[in-house]
Amino acid sequence: LTLVDAWFWKWRHYKWLQNRLQRVWHRAVSKTKVLINFLQLVLLFGPVYDIAWPPQFKAFLLELSSFSFDLISSLQLDCYYDFDFHDGLLVSTLGYMSLAMFATLASVLKGRAENSSNRAMVLIRRWADLVVGAVLAIAFAAYPVLSAKIFATFNCGDVKHANGNTRFLRDDYSINCEDATHKAMESYAKAMVVIISIGTPVLYFVLLWRSRHAKHGGGGARHLLFLSQVGHCPTTALYL
């Protein structure tokens, strides 16, 4: 009887520790998502709003610039190659859509292995969940900055000179907004507004709606935990 009591106590202690760690993890994920959103919104104040900010606020934005999640700007490719705003827009949007295609392929492979008990198929399902979850997390971090970059394609300003006014792109004054190349990029940006800026939240809604009856972390919805966790413990996960 003593051995049974000791085993039962250890099992309860293990379950308590496991639940405690899960609560800490979910709380950390939720707070990290809020912090990421805050940083993204604050960092967009400078490029989005044409306002003469106070020097203190400019210094504050400069300190936070390393958290911008704008890989293209962070790499400073224009220092090594002839890399302008149009090139950055193409690389960013095509890379974003490539991640979506990769996640779709993983979902297809998972669907084909869904009803199989084969060890290899189980491994494929697990890896597919990891891939889709990672892509959703990356998309969550990159979406605000990428959307701002897409809309910046239409943000032109007039520059006065002796022969009149010329409209240049505010994010890259080497680009004349009246050029045929930029007009073509504006058409491309309009398509990206629909596909990425509007399509991403619509995709999130569809994924969560389809999994609204799934239990926490189960029923094929494990890869959506990053999107659905809104509280500090598993019972507060939101499924629409």
Measured over the CA atoms of residue 141, residue 146, residue 151 and residue 156, the dihedral's sign is positive
Residue with the larger pLDDT of the pair 195 and 77 = 195
Angle between helices 85-112 and 180-192 (to 10 degrees): 30
Percentage of residues in the chain with pLDDT exceeding 70?
Answer: 71
| Digit-coded pLDDT (tens) for 90-123 | 988 999 999 888 888 887 887 777 777 777 777 8
Is it the case that residue 3 has pLDDT exceeding 60? no
Q: Which stretch of 11-20, 46-55, 150-159 has the lowest confidence by average pLDDT?
A: 11-20
> What pTM value is reported for the model?
0.70
Structure tokens that stand for 147 in this block: 């959307």
Q: pLDDT band for position 240 (50/70/90)?
A: very low
Is the distance from CB of 47 to CB of 148 less than 8 angstroms? yes
Structure tokens that stand for 51 in this block: 């306002």
Is it the case that residue 232 has pLDDT exceeding 50? no
Which residue has 């700007």 as its token pair? 73
Are β-strands 164-169 and 172-176 bridged in parallel, bridged antiparallel, or unpaired?
antiparallel
> What confidence score (pLDDT) does residue 9 get?
56
> What confidence score (pLDDT) does residue 195 get?
93
Nearest Cα to Cα of residue 87 among 97, 65, 72, 103:
72
Give the mean pLDDT of 118-137.
Answer: 80
> What confidence score (pLDDT) does residue 234 get?
43
Nearest Cα to Cα of residue 139 among 85, 203, 232:
203
Neighbours of 30 (CB within 10 A): 16
| Digit-coded pLDDT (tens) for 164-216 | 788 898 888 889 999 999 999 999 999 999 999 999 888 888 877 776 665 55
